[in-house]
Amino acid sequence: MDYACCPANWALLFLIIDSLHGGVSGVKSRNVRVGLTLAWVFFLQVMRIKYLLPDSELQNFALQVMEMLSAETSVDAHALGSNHSGFGEVVMHLSIDFKFGLSMTLLACVLYVLRIAVTNQMTEPTQRSFLVFLGKQLQSSEAGPSMKVAALRTLSYTLKTLGEVPFEFKEILDNTVVAAVSHSSKLVRIEAALALRALAEVDPTCVGGLTSYGVTNLTALRESVSFEKGSNLQFELDSFHGQATVLAALVSISPKLPLGYPARLPRLVFGVSKKMLTEHSRNPVAATVEKEAGWLLLSSLLASIPKEELEEDVFDILALWASLFTNNPENEIKKTDDLIALSYVSALTAKEVPNIKSAVDVFVIKTLIAYQSLPDPWSFKNDYPQIIQLCTFPFRYASECEESSCLRLLLDKRDAWLGPWIPGRDWFEDELRAFQGGKDGLMPCVWENEISSFPQLLDKYLLPEKEHFNPNTLGVSMEIWVLSKKDITLIVKPETISKTLVNQMLLFFGTMFASQDSAGMLSLLGIIEQCLKAGKKQHWHKASLTNICVGLLAGFKALLSFRPQKLGQEILGLAQSIFLGILAEGDICASQRRASSESLGYLARFGNDIFTARMASFFCSLGKSSCFDVEKQILFPHIIQGAGGIALSTLVPATVSSISSLAKSSVANLQIWSMHGLLLTIEAAGLSFVSHVQATLSLAMDILLSDENGLVDIQQGVGRLINAIVTVLGPELAPGSIFFSRSKSAITEISSWQETSTMLESARFTQQLVLFAPQAVSVHSHVQTLLSTLSSRQPTLRHLAVSTLRHLIEKDPASVIVEQIEDNLFFMLDEETDSEYNWKLSANNNYAITLCLFPFMSFTLDISMSQSGGRGVLATSMRNTENNNISPNDNPDSGLNLGDDENMVSGSNSVQSHKFQASIGAANREKYLRYKTRLFAAECLSHLPDAVGRNPAHFDLTLARKEHASGQSTGDWLVLHLQELISLAYQVLLSYA
């Protein structure tokens, strides 16, 4: 075998060359590690797909990947390669370089490889044994906390992918996952609780037993911790916290399960938590853990259970807080009316007690989250002065704050391809690239709906060592830590505590800014203006610019949702000067440039017509070669979006002319931003842009032909521009029109490069044609194009194809019936592991049934019986009588030549279609189908009585036989297959009993 072609070797070559030139460190080191992660994925995919490596051997590679988390464990690559010549050397180099410089990103990289390269490439039988393999890793004495976290997180994902709990895994559950609940590491305990939550989602019947087990254990542990001492006490406390975390996780998932939850669950859990909070141990260490566990359970209960279930206990729940705020730590705040939490924040910050900065920061974060959970920001207006004092800290003390990471979440997603965070092959890869890690961070919250993909590696962040810290010395009870009804942060990925604190301050600053009157806004803008002027030559100035962009952009977005009325000229002028000052610095990153441009666009929407006209006139007067050339591309479309009537008709021609002239530049970056500016202009102007379509198409073709280097970003920009034009032209895109020919030629050219980003625009072109120009291409051609895209290994392409297919079914279900795509859909559903895409495929199949696509019926029976020992399948495809007159010959395009260049979107699809037919179309129905696929097939059968419609012949045996005997109807009737359906139902039931 030739392993030189493996992408992993190219990544290794890069690392070696880079190391010879001084090594890697910091951000560059993280980028190299992410590159090696992708190399691992590509290597294992090549071995599985090209060299047909048995999926059962992926477990061996999984072990090698997990051992990278242990700095003391050496990688025995030669042992791994004993059975496969050539494997050892590649794996050894990958492992050594991958482990180089352990950091918090390493756990994220390992989780990515285990999920994408290992679990997703396994068949269902192998995934069953993989669960047992992961369980054994939890039992290994050599596995450290990070390895166990990786095993537990991968175990949870594998369970959800399988959709069932294998019997062999149930046998080792107590000695693996349940045992991890008592681990000394808090993060391991939380991950074990999340794994049991995943198990409850997959097998809801176990919730009752796990809940009873948890309550019983908590009761027993409460008694034992009162008497234990030394090391035994610590173990008992860890077990106590772990059991409480599991119970909180089960409470959170119970209302979402199909079987519901026991009626006694809310009262039972509340009773347990109440006892922990009111009848805690006399041992101060044990009492602290009991209180934390009690508030943990209560928080999960309040966040998850419907409020109607807790109405009888409202006063008892509120009474738990009565004693918390009676003894304040500072005499000067005893008689104030301020919220006590803010008083604690002020007191703790002023004291500057050493060794507890992280604890104080977490307390501030939780307090801000609690305020953000309130739906009405004016309900705590009296607390504004203290909150503003807190949230303006990043501007008043800029040198002491980190750079916020919120811009990625706040910026317009449509501009993402402009950078600096270029979307990858899927959302999971994007999260991996964005993950920064750190020395500390907030723990995963077991009752959150969406758990961060990559947890932090260290977990001793909340409080200092117990022997060095006594919360009573500050007058702060542990109960203060649970302030929010729904402890859900606005930050998707885990961050260090200091960065999370800055993020929460800036996000809440935006809420405060939008809640102020004119004087308050001017005051806050004045603080920001002073921050912008200070420290221009300091190393922290760049971070300060990002924080300014985050705070004001969050404020503008909140202002747009709170009160869309116009702002005063003084406010608009000061805000405009701030962003012009940022842009004038020149040496700013793409995210700061995008944020400033987008914020100026918001100002145009908040101002009156006079302000908008002046802003447009100002930027138009700058001409070419100004420092604002790039910003114009985003600013002008936002100005158009806020304009209307005569102003709209006046601004569009000037904007198109200005941006088009910049697009003719030889500078690639300016061309990219100019095309994006034209795209936004099209979206904002709508039909007012029709007169500029021909010139814009010519400009796009000129840019494409003049691109001698074949830059992917320019090709993607052309594709996005063409797709925007399709939405405007719509019905005018007839097969013989010049507009359609030019658009099709451009898309064909960019898709010939087979890059993911350009193929995405090609698939989006198909979607735009389906939505806005259905007359341009036949349904048959669309279906063939979509089927080839559905088989792509790029998740983003598959997601787009599935969405487009649903649109096509909605628009023309009769034509889709003729294509008979159900076999392909079911087999693709069976092979798909991405949960979101899996759901979309299921929704398409389900939706197709409701539209009476009755080829599903025979295939559904086929799938259901293939694994249940059935004696055969229905050979007749049943269809609704309303569509009985439809046949393949009725479709004028049924004999269409798939190679017809006029109707096909891209000439490259023919190759993909061939691959698709080889892998999917000729699939063997007798293969082992996934449990989820068989379950969905059974669900499809249950929809048949509703899907056949209201024709009485489907439910009247006499009438159905009469219609059938007459020979006048070509349809089939449900009642004629009643015996087969009942027999199949019994067979399926008995086979899974």
Query: pLDDT tens-digit profile of 64-75?
Result: 899 888 753 433
pLDDT for 916 equals 36
pLDDT exceeds cutoff 50 at 811: yes
C-alpha–C-alpha distance, residues 317 and 311, integer Å: 10
pLDDT band at 168 (very low <50, low <70, confident <90, very high): very high
> How far is residue 551's CA from residue 556's CA, in Å, rounded to a whole number?
9
Asked whether residue 159 carries a pLDDT value surpassing 90, the answer given is yes
**pLDDT tens sequence across 647-668:** 566 778 888 888 888 888 888 8
- Among 346-360, 409-423, 529-543, 619-633, whose mean pLDDT is lowest? 619-633
CA distance 268 to 313: 12
CA–CA separation, 843 and 547 (whole Å): 42
Quick one: residue 755, left, alpha or beta (phi over 0 = left, psi -120 to 50 = alpha)? beta
What is the pLDDT, as a whole number, of residue 71?
A: 53
> d(Cα 290, Cα 89) in Å, to the nearest integer?
52
Average pLDDT score over residue span 614-633:
66
Identify which of 209, 234, 236 has the alpha carbon closest to the alpha carbon of residue 222.
236
Q: Per-residue DSSP letters for 146-210?
A: HHHHHHHHHHHHHHHHH-S--HHHHHTTTTTHHHHTT-SSHHHHHHHHHHHHHHHHH-GGGHHHH
Structure confidence at residue 696 (pLDDT): 92
pLDDT the model gives residue 549: 94
Asked if residues 592 and 545 have their Cβ atoms less than 8 Å apart, the reply is yes
Whether the pLDDT of residue 477 is over 70: the answer is: no
Per-residue tokens: 351: 């004291």
Residue 794: what pLDDT? 79
Residues in the chain: 993
Name the band, by pLDDT with cuts 50, 70 and 90, for residue 230: low
* Full DSSP string of 629-662: HHHHHHHHHHHHHH--THHHHHHHHHHHHHHHHH
Query: What does the pLDDT read at residue 539?
Result: 87
- Quick one: average pLDDT of 572-576? 92
Question: Beta-carbon neighbour count of residue 424 at 10 Å?
Answer: 19
Q: Cβ neighbours of residue 301 under 8 Å, at least 6 residues apart?
A: 251, 266, 269, 270, 273, 310
Q: How many CB atoms lie within 10 A of CB 711?
A: 14
Burial of 755 (0-12, 13-18, 19+ CB in 10 A): middle
Q: Please tell me the distance from the alpha carbon of residue 338 to that of residue 367, in angstroms, as a whole number.
A: 14
Mean pLDDT, rounded, for 2-16: 46
873-892 pLDDT per residue, tens: 222 233 333 333 333 333 33
Q: Give the separation between CA 278 and CA 764, rounded to whole angstroms.
A: 60
Q: Which DSSP helix (H) or strand (E) runs through 71? A: none
Query: What is the rounded CA–CA span in Å between residue 772 and residue 888?
Result: 25
Residue 769: per-residue pLDDT: 92
Mean pLDDT of the chain: 75
882's tokens? 């309303």
Mean pLDDT over 284-294 rounds to: 88
Integer CA distances (angstroms), 361 to 36, 186, 371, 386, 396, in order: 35, 19, 16, 16, 17
CA 661 to CA 665: how far, in whole Å? 7
| Residue 370: strand, helix, or coil | helix
Report the range out of 7-11, 51-55, 359-363, 564-568 with the highest average pLDDT: 51-55
Query: For the CA atoms of the chain, what is the radius of gyration?
Result: 31
Tokens representing 575 are 């805000």
CA distance 421 to 100: 25
CB–CB of 550/404 below 8 Å?
Answer: yes
pLDDT above 90 coverage of the chain, percent: 20
The whole-number pLDDT of residue 425 equals 65
552-568 mean pLDDT: 85
- Tokens representing 629 are 């050339």
Tell me the backbone φ, ψ of residue 129, rounded to 5 degrees: -70, -30
Q: How many CA atoms lie within 13 A of 974 on its CB side?
A: 23
| Helices vs strands, H then E, count in the chain | 45, 0
Nearest-angstrom CA–CA distance, 442 and 219:
28
pLDDT (tens digit per residue) in 342-365: 776 766 666 666 667 778 888 888
pLDDT (mean) for 776-795:
85
User: DSSP H helical segments within 25-74, as ranges?
Assistant: 26-49, 58-67
> What is the mean pLDDT of the segment spanning 763-774?
91
3-state helix, strand, coil in the chain (%, to 5): 70, 0, 30
Say what percent of the chain tops pLDDT 70. 72
Residue 970, number of CB atoms within 10 A of its CB = 11
Of residues 96 and 44, the one with the higher pLDDT is 44
Q: What is the tens place of the pLDDT at every residue in 848-858?
A: 444 433 333 43
Do the Cβ atoms of 842 and 812 come closer than 8 Å? no
The H or E element spanning position 355 is none
Predicted pLDDT at 281: 80
Q: Please work out, in degrees rounded to the nearest 5, the angle formed at the alpha carbon of residue 344 by the alpha carbons of 320 and 274.
A: 15
pLDDT for 293 beyond 60 = yes
Tell me which of 228-242, 252-266, 838-852 is least confident: 838-852
Q: What is the pLDDT of residues 421-440, one digit of tens each?
A: 777 667 788 888 878 776 67
Q: Which residue has the tokens 């090609």?
A: 762
CB neighbour list of residue 569: distance below 8 Å, 6 or more residues apart: 607, 611
Q: Mean of the pLDDT values across residues 515-542?
A: 90
pLDDT computed for residue 860 by the predictor? 41
pLDDT value of position 914: 34
> Pick from 727, 744, 621, 747: which is nearest to 679 by CA?
727
pLDDT mean over 357-375? 84
Q: Residue type for 313, please?
A: D
Residue 527: the pLDDT is 94
Helix, strand, or coil (residue 666): coil
Determine the pLDDT at residue 885: 35
Distance of CA 728 to the CA centre of its chain: 31
Per DSSP, the three-state class of 260 is: coil
Q: Alpha-carbon distance 291 to 276, whole Å?
A: 6
**Residue 44 or residue 935, greater confidence:** 44
Report pLDDT for 26: 57
How many CB atoms are closer than 10 A to CB 353? 14
Instruction: Output 577-586 pairs: Cβ under 8 A, ≥24 positions apart.
Output: 577/529, 578/525, 578/528, 578/529, 578/532, 578/548, 578/552, 579/552, 579/603, 581/532, 582/532, 582/545, 582/548, 582/549, 583/627, 583/628, 583/631, 584/627, 585/545, 586/627
Residue 83's pLDDT is 40
Considering Cα of 230, then 236, then 242, then 247, what sign does the dihedral take? negative
The rounded Cα 828 to chain-centroid distance in angstroms is 22
| pLDDT of 633 over the 50 cut | yes
String of DSSP letters for 82-106: TSSTTHHHHHHHHHHHHHSS--HHH
Q: How far is CA 792 from CA 29, 674, 765, 828, in A?
A: 31, 31, 16, 11
Average pLDDT over residues 795-807: 84
pLDDT for the residue 835 = 59
**pLDDT exceeds cutoff 70 at 41:** yes
528: pLDDT strictly greater than 70: yes
